[in-house]
Amino acid sequence: MNSDTPSTVPQDTPPRLRLREITKRFPGCLANDAVSLDLAPGEIHALLGENGAGKSTLVKILYGVQGADSGTIEWEGQKVDIPSPSAARALGIGMVFQHFSLFETLSVADNVALAMQRGTGRDPALLAEIEKLSADYGLALDPTRSVHELSVGERQRVEIVRCLMQNPSLIVMDEPTSVLTPSEVEKLFTVLRRLRDEGRTILYISHKLQEIRDLCDRATILRGGKVVASCDPRQETPNSLAALMIGRAFDGPKAGKPVQVGEGVPLLSVQGLSMEADSPFGTSLKNISFTVRAGEVFGIAGVAGNGQNTLLAALSGERTAPRDDWVKFEGHSIGRVGARGRRDMGISFVPEERLGHGSVPDLPLEDNALLSGWGRWGLIRHGLISRGKSRKKTEDVIEAFNVVSTGTGAAARSLSGGNLQKFIIGREIMQDPKLLIAAQPTWGVDAGSAAAIQSALIDLARAGAGVVVVSQDLDELFTIADRVAVIFDGTLSESRPTHATSAEDVGLLMGGLFEATP
C-alpha cells in the first residue's frame, strides 16, 4: 500500500529520514508491510497504531536492531544502510525503548557510559554531565544508584536521559510517558519542544491520544503493518484518532456504572501493615490500613517509587508480612501465607512489569497460562500436566481478550507490549478470582484495548469480586475506581469515593500533601 506523502513537509529541505517500502515478516505475521514515512527536521511526528500494528518493529529497523526484509532508508537525502544500532547512533539517531534496555546490576552512570561509547560510570566528568542534563530537563536522577533498585518511572527517566546525552538529531521515543507522572510528562514535553525548536526531529510513539494532540505536529497511522493514514493530530479528537487506528468508530471506555461504597462484605482488610523495603533504596511501608469490599474497585494512586512495589509484594504474598493478622482475607489472617497459598484462596495478581514478572519471556503463552492458572483451573492431575486443557484455557484467554499473537505456542517475548498485557490481565480475570490486584493494568495498551481491560475490571467487580488497582494514571482511576486512596512515601491516605473528590485533590495528595493516617 502506498502512503500519501503529507503535503506539510517543507519542500526546500530534504527530509531528515525517509523510509521507503519497508517490509518485515516474522514467522506467522507480517509486522511491516511496505511502510513509507518521511520525517522532516524540526518536527515532532507521531506514530500511531493499535497494539501489534508494527510500530516498535518499524523503529527497531530504523535503529538497526532488526533488519528489514526489503525497503530502503535515506538519511539527509543519502541512501544508507543501518546494520546496527551503533551505525544508527553514528548517523545521529537516538532511541528510548519501549521495554527497558537497561542493565539492572549496573549503576545509572554505567548504563549511560555504555550507551555513549565512552569511559565507565566512574568518570567524574560523565557523572557531572548526567547530573547537569537531568537537572536541566527536570528528570531527577542519582547517577550512582544501581538500576535494579529503581522504580519503573525512574528507569524510564534513565532511558530518556541516556538518549538525550547522545545529542541526537533524530530521537525515537517508544512510549516514553507510559509510566511518568503528569508533571513529569509536562516537563518532558517542554524538553521535547525545546529539542524540536533546536531543529531536531522526534518520532514519538504513544497510546495517549490526548498527549499526541498536545505535542505532535504530524501523525502517521499504522494498522496491521500498513500505513493507513496520515494527519495533523491537532485537527483531530482523541476519538477520531482512535477511529483511524482501529478502522471503525470508537466510543471510548465504558462510562456510567453503579457506585457501591459502604455496602458489601469486607473482603480484604489490611490493618497497620508496616514492612521494610527489600532493597536499601526501596520505600518501606508505614502503618498501612485499608479495606476492600466485594463488588468494588479500589484505586491506589501514587507517583512511582512511593512504596507501591513493597505494598504489591505484601498483597500478592511474594513477601509475607511480619504479622499474620496485618492482612486479612474473608476474615482469615493471611499475612504469613505465601503467594501460592493466596492464589489458591482466589487472590489473583497482575504485576507492573509484564516481561519477567508477569510472564516468563521465553516460554510460550500456554506455559505462561499454566504457571499462573494451574491451581484454579485444575490443569494438573496426579502431578501430570493436562496439555489439552491448558491449551484450551490459553485459547480462551486469547479469544476473550483479543490477544494478537501467532497462537498458544508464541513466546511471551514475541507479543507486542499491549497484547502481552491483555493476555496477562485476561489470564488472571479468567481464573475467576475473588480478589484481583492489578498494577498499572493499561500501561502501554492502546485506547481500544485499554477500554476493554477497564471494562473487564469493572465487570469483574460487579460480578462480586474485589478489585484493587494500583496506578499513576488518574484518568484511569477516576474511570474505573469506586474509591481511591493515595500512597506517598510508604503511607496510605484515607480513601475517598471517587464521585466525592476530584482529580486535582488526588493530584495534591500524590505530591505528599496529607497528614499520615494514624
Partner 1 sequence: MDILAPILISIIAASTPLLFAAIGELVVEKSGVLNLGVEGMMLGGAVIAFIISVETGNSALAIVAGAAMGAMMAGLFAVLTLGLLANQVATGLALTLFGIGLSALLGQGYVGTPLTALPKLNIPGLTDIPVLGPVVFGQDVLVYLSFVVTGLVAWFLYRTRAGLVLRSVGENPHAAHAIGFPVIRIRLFAVLFGGAMAGLGGAYLSLSYTPMWAEEMSAGRGWIALALVVFATWRPGRVVLGAYLFGGLTLAQLHLQGMGSSAIPSQFLNMVPYIATIVVLVLISRDATRIRMNAPASIGKVFHPDG
In angstroms, give the least distance from the CB of 280 to partner 1. 9
In angstroms, the first-to-last Cα distance of the chain is 63
Say which DSSP state 174 is in.
Answer: E
In angstroms, give the least distance from the CB of 47 to ligand ATP. 8
Residue whose grid cell is 497494539: 51
Residue 244 bridge partners (DSSP): none
Q: Answer with the entry of Mg ion, ligand ATP, partner 1, none that 85 interacts with (C-beta below 5 to 8 A by kind).
A: partner 1
Q: Which stretch binds partner 1 (CB under 8 A): 94-102, 211-219, 429-437, 502-510?
A: 94-102
Amino acid at 355: L
In angstroms, give the least distance from the CB of 296 to ligand ATP. 30
By CB under 8 A, is residue 101 in contact with partner 1? yes
447 and 212 Cβ atoms separated by less than 8 Å: no
CA distance 219 to 104: 34
Burial of 395 from C-beta contacts in 10 A (0-12 / 13-18 / 19+) = middle
By CB under 8 A, is residue 119 in contact with partner 1? yes
483-488 and 297-301: which strand pairing? Answer: parallel
44-49 and 201-205: which strand pairing? Answer: parallel
313 and 319 Cβ atoms separated by less than 8 Å: yes
By CB under 8 A, is residue 118 in contact with partner 1? yes
CA distance 431 to 352: 19
Size of the residue set binding ligand ATP (CB under 6 A): 21
By CB under 6 A, is residue 212 in contact with ligand ATP? no
By CB under 8 A, is residue 97 in contact with partner 1? yes
Q: Which stretch binds ligand ATP (CB under 6 A): 250-258, 317-325, 351-359, 414-422?
A: 414-422
Number of other CB atoms surrounding residue 53 within 10 Å = 26
Residue from 23, 72, 146, 333 that binds partner 1 (CB under 8 A)?
146
In angstroms, give the least distance from the CB of 4 to Mg ion. 24
CA distance 196 to 399: 42
By CB under 6 A, is residue 51 in contact with ligand ATP? yes
In angstroms, give the least distance from the CB of 480 to partner 1. 34
Residue whose grid cell is 483451573: 377
Residue from 17, 22, 46, 53 that binds ligand ATP (CB under 6 A)?
53
CA distance 352 to 440: 6
Q: Answer with the entry of Mg ion, ligand ATP, partner 1, none that 114 interacts with (C-beta below 5 to 8 A by kind).
A: partner 1
**Three-state secondary-structure class, residue 437:** strand
In angstroms, give the least distance from the CB of 279 to partner 1. 7
Q: Answer with the entry of partner 1, ligand ATP, Mg ion, none that 49 interacts with (C-beta below 5 to 8 A by kind).
A: ligand ATP
Element (H, E) at 77: none
CA distance 372 to 349: 9
State which of positions 260-299 bind ligand ATP (CB under 6 A). none
Q: Which stretch binds partner 1 (CB under 8 A): 72-80, 101-109, 375-383, 443-451?
A: 101-109
Q: Answer with the entry of Mg ion, ligand ATP, partner 1, none that 52 interacts with (C-beta below 5 to 8 A by kind).
A: ligand ATP
Q: Cα–Cα distances in Å, from 290 out to 55, 298, 468? A: 41, 10, 11
By CB under 8 A, is residue 167 in contact with partner 1? no
Residue from 65, 261, 380, 400 that binds partner 1 (CB under 8 A)?
65
**Which cell is 273 given?**
501493615
In angstroms, give the least distance from the CB of 112 to ligand ATP. 25
Say which DSSP state 23 is in.
Answer: E
Half-sphere exposure in the Cβ direction for 178 (13 Å, CA):
29
By CB under 8 A, is residue 104 in contact with partner 1? yes
In angstroms, give the least distance from the CB of 302 to partner 1. 25
Say which DSSP state 254 is in.
Answer: -
Number of other CB atoms surrounding residue 453 within 10 Å = 25
Number of other CB atoms surrounding residue 188 within 10 Å = 22
The contact pattern for partner 1, residues 251-280, with x = CB under 8 A and - = no contact, is ----------------------------x-
By CB under 6 A, is residue 364 in contact with ligand ATP? no
In angstroms, give the least distance from the CB of 411 to partner 1. 9
In angstroms, give the least distance from the CB of 417 to ligand ATP. 4
Report the interface residues with ligand ATP, using CB under 6 A.
26, 29, 31, 49, 51-57, 98, 404-405, 414-419, 446
Report the interface residues with partner 1, using CB under 8 A.
63-67, 84-89, 95, 97, 100-106, 110, 113-115, 117-122, 146, 148, 279, 413
